[in-house]
Amino acid sequence: MGPAQLRNMRSRPTVDGMHAREQRLSGGLSPLRPRDVGPREFVYGLTEAKRQHHVPKMYLRAFAEAGDGIIPWRDLETGRTGRASVDNLAVERHYYDFDFLGVALSAEPWLAEVEAKAAVWLRLLRETSEEGAIAPDGMLYLSRFAAAQFFRSPSFRSWLERYKADLGTRIKEFARQMLPPEVFQLREDQPHEAWLGQEPSEDAAVPDSLWILEGTQGYANLLVFCMDWTLLEAPDGARFYTSDAPLARRTSHLDDGVLPGSFVSYEYYLPISPLRALRIRPRRGFGSDLRLASILRKKASKREVSLANSMQSASAARFLYGRGPWIDRDDGRRNIARQIGAAATTRVMTVQATGDIRPSAVMQVADARARSMLAQQGTGTTTRGVALEYMQQVREHSPDGPADSEGLS
């Protein structure tokens, strides 16, 4: 079974999570999205809750200073700081609600269930010092919680809207060049959703920010079957804080078989208390070593705590939660860029020192150079074009003939 098949696997954690891989999602295709293909989970129900949290209260309570539910916070936009109850943090009215044929539906009940099943395992991670204390069921529930937390955050919603608008604009400009003027003018004023091929009669019922939650289990499968998990313990004098986007990520090193820019090409950090955080990173031999992850433990350095906090500041939509010292957004991005640049330089030196110019090795060098260059611009994005350009430079030097670029397609 390959990574693509694993992501689309219809599995759902149950009491005996060992059999999750064989079980099918109840609900199958969403009736609200009839054009979808592939497994989707029906995540909508009825709720009376009007104030809905995009960061769970049960998660935030771990960052209260005195166990009283009062948490320090910082507004990255204004620089203001304060203290507030978890009831009043990371909350918006009707955040997960939408109207479908006159019926008010919400993802709130489904998310409450995901949170409840993960809560006991998060508490165990905060309190125990044993390796292997998390049962297979716990890993499945934790991965589900982490994946859902990523897609429910305000920063992801903002990114999704920017992505749709940018892609729609690009498609529109391409159409302007390719279509006869009289044909293009008929569609010129249509919104970007139309250029993306979304039919309002079918796709506008469920907001994209909620629709993507239907695929949570597929991404949870990637996290728990294809990546390695480590519980980091903060050293004396260092503390983790969290944000309104707790599952923060940065570009990781390029491992075998990992496609740059894919969900599993990133390294993720999820603080679970001021003293502990989960680190989830790509597994070496990706695609050939599919197994349920277990959680190792490690004493983090102050540098790694600073990196984890920098990622929270860089990923947050607006707010940081927990005791400082806090890192400003721009400083956080610079810290991450330095880390990516250092890792990229090391990879370039390692691969070049071996004299290995096979396509896979050249791809690693090219990707690392792209990461180093783009890190200085505050982004971890890599491009196929940069890799192909570098491969072109070494074509004449290969003892086995020109390097093959098909592996980059």
Q: Report whether pLDDT(1) > 50.
A: no
Residue 166 near residue 141 (C-beta atoms within 8 A):
no
Mean predicted confidence (pLDDT) in 83-104: 92
Cβ neighbours around 38 below 10 Å, total: 11
Question: What is the helix, strand, coil percentage profile of the chain, to 5?
Answer: 45, 15, 35
Q: Where are the alpha helices (DSSP H) in 319-383?
A: 329-354, 359-375
Q: Report whether pLDDT(11) > 50.
A: no
Cβ neighbours around 404 below 10 Å, total: 15
Q: Confidence band (pLDDT; 50, 70, 90) for 282?
A: confident
Mean predicted confidence (pLDDT) in 164-188: 80
Residue type for position 127: E
Residue 132 DSSP SS3 = coil
**Angstrom distance (rounded) from CA 40 to CA 57:** 27
Instruction: Output the pLDDT for position 180.
Output: 83
Torsion angle (degrees, nearest 10) of CA 259, 262, 264, 268? 130
Q: Confidence band (pLDDT; 50, 70, 90) for 407?
A: very low
What angle in degrees, to the nearest 10, is found between the helix axes of 359-375 and 384-394?
Answer: 130
Q: Report whether pLDDT(15) > 70.
A: no
Q: Report whether pLDDT(293) > 60.
A: yes
Residue 230 DSSP SS3 = strand
Average confidence score pLDDT of the chain: 76
Query: Domain limits of the chain?
Result: 3-155+210-327, 339-408
Most confident of the ranges 19-23, 97-101, 104-108: 104-108
Tokens of 262: 């894919």
Most confident of the ranges 7-11, 51-55, 63-67: 51-55
- Integer angstrom CA distances of residue 303 from 245, 281, 336, 337: 21, 17, 11, 14
Instruction: Output the pLDDT for position 395.
Output: 45
Residue type for position 51: R
In degrees rounded to 5, what are phi and psi of residue 218? -60, -40
66's CB contacts (< 8 A; 6+ apart) are none
Instruction: Output the pLDDT for position 400.
Output: 41
Most confident of the ranges 83-97, 280-294, 347-361, 385-399: 83-97
User: Which one, of 128, 144, 119, 131, lies nearest residue 14 by Cα?
Assistant: 144
Instruction: Output the pLDDT for position 152.
Output: 94
**Angstrom distance (rounded) from CA 220 to CA 268:** 13
**Angstrom distance (rounded) from CA 65 to CA 72:** 8
Q: Report whether pLDDT(277) > 60.
A: yes
Q: Confidence band (pLDDT; 50, 70, 90) for 264?
A: confident
Sole residue written with tokens 């293909």? 37
Which of 11-20, 53-62, 148-157 is predicted least confidently? 11-20
**Angstrom distance (rounded) from CA 409 to CA 241:** 40
User: Which one, of 256, 300, 292, lies nearest residue 276 by Cα?
Assistant: 300
Mean predicted confidence (pLDDT) in 200-225: 80
Q: Confidence band (pLDDT; 50, 70, 90) for 144?
A: very high
Q: Confidence band (pLDDT; 50, 70, 90) for 354?
A: low
Burial of 388 (0-12, 13-18, 19+ CB in 10 A): middle
**Angstrom distance (rounded) from CA 367 to CA 168:** 27
Instruction: Output the pLDDT for position 74.
Output: 97
The radius of gyration computed from the CA coordinates of the chain, to the nearest angstrom, equals 23
In the chain, DSSP finds a helix count (H) and a strand count (E) of: 14, 13
Q: Report whether pLDDT(23) > 70.
A: no
Instruction: Output the pLDDT for position 401.
Output: 38
Tokens of 174: 């391409």
Instruction: Specify which residues 81 forms β-bridges with.
Output: 74
pLDDT digits (tens, 9 = 90+) for 227-239: 999 999 999 999 9
Sole residue written with tokens 């707010």? 319
Q: Confidence band (pLDDT; 50, 70, 90) for 365?
A: low
Residue 292 DSSP SS3 = coil
Tokens of 381: 């994005």
Q: Report whether pLDDT(58) > 60.
A: yes
Q: Confidence band (pLDDT; 50, 70, 90) for 64?
A: very high
